[in-house]
């Protein structure tokens, strides 16, 4: 079965063939670093991390780019607010910060959240402020082609002329007439209220450090322009996949596509969008008080369980958080770990086998992770059944390890040990040593010592089961691992 992916632009699942044989070029929208990451940010990062891992498991070399938008209106507004006399320090805004310091602090918070959940770093992670030259060049191309114009007033703004590009709206399949006016700038400088800013002229009160010289006056880039300039710099005028959250389809990605295509670039061949995260079926909102952050999740469950939860739904589906969801994910992860500890009592977590065909078929079917997880848990059940019969299950364990690699569940740093983690490996060796002592005691008919060893292990949360092939063990669900 060939890899097939849903393309938002065509609204259909299509066979995926990369532009260059053996290599995939992937761009997905990263953080606008105006605050700490929310759960939607990390869900998107996990989804595209799984995509990258599956492409690599399928034999491709992946060149991935995830941007950082380190300047925008809200970053400047929040920085300015921190210098006002009535500023009240908060946990996220403890002191007055220049805009660039504020942006960098939150960029680090995003990096920490990604790292905590085992999201691998992309090939490149460019910042918007480092690519002003490329943005100027793109604007000049659009003006020359008749698709952009300097503002009709003296603001120094430059706008994309929406009506000059007949294909505008093709990504979201809507007409210009049905669209709302762009909200970002005073419409007096525009030819049409729906035109959007490519370059924003410097405004009184904004710090000089937040502006750059340009042929159209001092200013800074518009949000949509940044991604077009950065993606094509690193991936070329045409690349394979552009991704991001569903909320970015319009206007951000629609505008990216329009300005890039109008400038003559082929741009993205596939558009992929992950679904949103809800709270008990409702949209998350700070005003309602039903939000949950990555930090909140990591306080409730260990990182592997949080990653399992964030990655378990189909990437295009809505992911619904509800009380108890993380505990269910924790139980699922522990079932997998307990099987591995039984099947590989010596901790040989390097014994990776071929992926089951059912898992491959699921992942090739538009990254159908729910079906892939079903294949994973079926392999765990079959392996446990084999162990109960006294049979070897190392082959099933190797398949489980391979599936966990694709899903990124073996790369999550665990403070108390996770599947394949050093703490669990140490625990396995210690428990195995105790079981060997118990076996020696039983062979010497020293049943009191054998029973005492078993009682000690049980008190530590280790369940021991005697089978025809010897003693096996597992961690009791909910037991501490460290």
Question: In the prediction, which pLDDT does 419 show?
Answer: 46
Of 91-95, 187-191, 258-262, highest mean pLDDT: 258-262
Which residue has better confidence, 270 or 287? Answer: 270
pLDDT score, position 183: 58
pLDDT at residue 430, as a whole number: 73
- Portions of the chain given CATH number 3.40.50.620: 20-274
Q: Which residues contact 83 (CB under 8 A, 6 or more apart)?
A: 96
Q: Where does the pLDDT of residue 428 fall: very low under 50, low under 70, confident under 90, or very high at 90 and above?
A: low
- Looking at the chain, the domain(s) classified CATH 1.10.730 span 295-475
Digit-coded pLDDT (tens) for 240-268: 999 999 999 999 999 999 999 999 999 99
Whether the per-residue pLDDT at 319 is higher than 90: the answer is yes
Confidence of residue 472 (pLDDT cuts 50, 70, 90): low
**CB 312, CB 370: distance < 8 Å:** yes
pLDDT tens, 190-233? Answer: 899 899 999 999 999 999 999 999 999 999 999 999 999 999 99
Mean pLDDT of the chain: 90
Instruction: Report the percentage of the chain scoring pLDDT > 90.
Output: 74
Highest mean pLDDT (candidates 93-97, 285-289, 360-364): 360-364
Which of 98 and 287 is assigned the larger pLDDT? Answer: 98
173 CB burial (10 A radius; 0-12, 13-18, 19+): exposed
Residue 98 has pLDDT above 80, yes or no: yes
Per-residue pLDDT, 462: 80
pLDDT of residue 473: 72
pLDDT of 290 over the 90 cut: no
| pLDDT interval class at 288 (50, 70, 90) | confident
Write the pLDDT tens digit of every residue in 397-423: 999 999 999 999 999 998 754 444 445
Question: Does the pLDDT at position 185 exceed 50?
Answer: no
- Grade residue 188 by pLDDT with cuts at 50, 70 and 90: low
The CATH fold of domain 295-475: Isoleucyl-tRNA Synthetase; Domain 1 (1.10.730)
More reliable by pLDDT, 147 or 442: 147
* Portion of the chain with pLDDT greater than 70, in percent: 92
Tell me the CATH class for 20-274. alpha beta
- Tens of pLDDT, residue by residue over 349-399, are 777 889 999 999 999 999 999 999 999 999 999 999 999 999 999 999 999
Q: Is the pLDDT of residue 482 over 70?
A: no
- Asked if pLDDT for residue 78 goes beyond 80, the answer is yes
Span 442-446, average pLDDT: 84
pLDDT, tens only, 25-67: 999 999 999 999 999 999 999 999 999 999 999 999 999 999 9
pLDDT in tens, 110-147: 999 999 999 999 999 999 999 999 999 999 999 999 99
Please report the pLDDT score of residue 302 as a whole number.
Answer: 95
């Amino acid at each position: 079965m060939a890899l097939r992916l849903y393309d938002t632009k065509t609204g259909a699942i299509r066979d995926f063939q990369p532009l260059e044989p053996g290599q995939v070029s992937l761009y997905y929208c990263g953080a606008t670093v105006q605050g700490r990451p929310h759960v939607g940010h990390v869900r998107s990062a996990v989804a595209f991390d799984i995509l990258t891992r599956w492409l690599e498991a399928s034999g491709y070399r992946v060149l991935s780019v995830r941007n950082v938008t380190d300047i925008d209106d809200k970053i400047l507004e929040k920085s300015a607010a921190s210098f006002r006399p009535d500023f009240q320090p908060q946990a996220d805004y403890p002191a007055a910060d220049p805009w660039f310091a504020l942006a960098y602090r939150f960029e680090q918070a995003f990096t920490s959240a990604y790292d905590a959940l085992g999201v691998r770093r992309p090939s490149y992670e460019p910042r918007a402020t480092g690519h002003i030259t490329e943005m100027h060049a793109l604007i000049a191309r659009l003006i020359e082609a008749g698709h952009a114009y300097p503002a009709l007033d003296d603001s120094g703004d430059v706008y994309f002329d929406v009506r000059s590009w007949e294909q505008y709206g093709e990504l979201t399949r809507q007409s210009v007439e049905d669209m709302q006016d762009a909200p970002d700038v005073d419409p007096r400088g525009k030819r049409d209220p729906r035109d959007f800013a490519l370059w924003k002229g410097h405004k009184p009160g904004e710090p000089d450090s937040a502006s750059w010289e340009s042929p159209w006056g001092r200013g800074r880039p518009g949000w949509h322009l940044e991604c077009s300039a950065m993606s094509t710099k690193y991936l070329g005028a045409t690349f394979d996949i552009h991704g991001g959250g569903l909320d970015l389809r319009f206007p951000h990605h629609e505008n990216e596509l329009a300005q890039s295509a109008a400038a003559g670039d082929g741009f993205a061949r596939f558009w992929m969008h992950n679904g949103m995260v809800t709270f008990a079926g409702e949209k998350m909102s700070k005003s309602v008080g039903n939000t949950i952050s990555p930090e909140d999740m990591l306080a409730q469950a260990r990182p592997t369980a949080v990653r399992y939860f964030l990655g378990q739904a189909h990437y295009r589906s809505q992911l619904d958080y509800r009380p108890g969801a993380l505990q269910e994910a924790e139980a699922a992860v522990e079932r997998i770990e307990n099987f591995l500890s039984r099947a590989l009592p010596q901790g040989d977590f390097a014994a990776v086998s071929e992926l089951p065909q059912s898992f491959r078929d699921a992942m090739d079917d538009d990254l159908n992770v729910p079906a892939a997880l079903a294949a994973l848990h079926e392999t765990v059940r079959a392996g446990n059944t084999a162990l109960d019969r006294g049979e070897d299950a190392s082959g099933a364990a190797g398949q489980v390890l391979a599936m966990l690699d694709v899903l990124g569940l073996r790369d999550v740093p665990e403070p108390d040990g996770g599947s394949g983690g050093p703490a669990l490996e140490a625990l396995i060796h210690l428990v195995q040593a105790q079981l060997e002592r118990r076996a020696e005691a039983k062979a010497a008919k020293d049943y009191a010592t054998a029973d005492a060893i078993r009682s000690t292990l049980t008190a530590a949360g280790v369940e021991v089961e005697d089978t025809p092939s010897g003693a096996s063990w597992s961690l009791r669900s909910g037991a501490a691992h460290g």
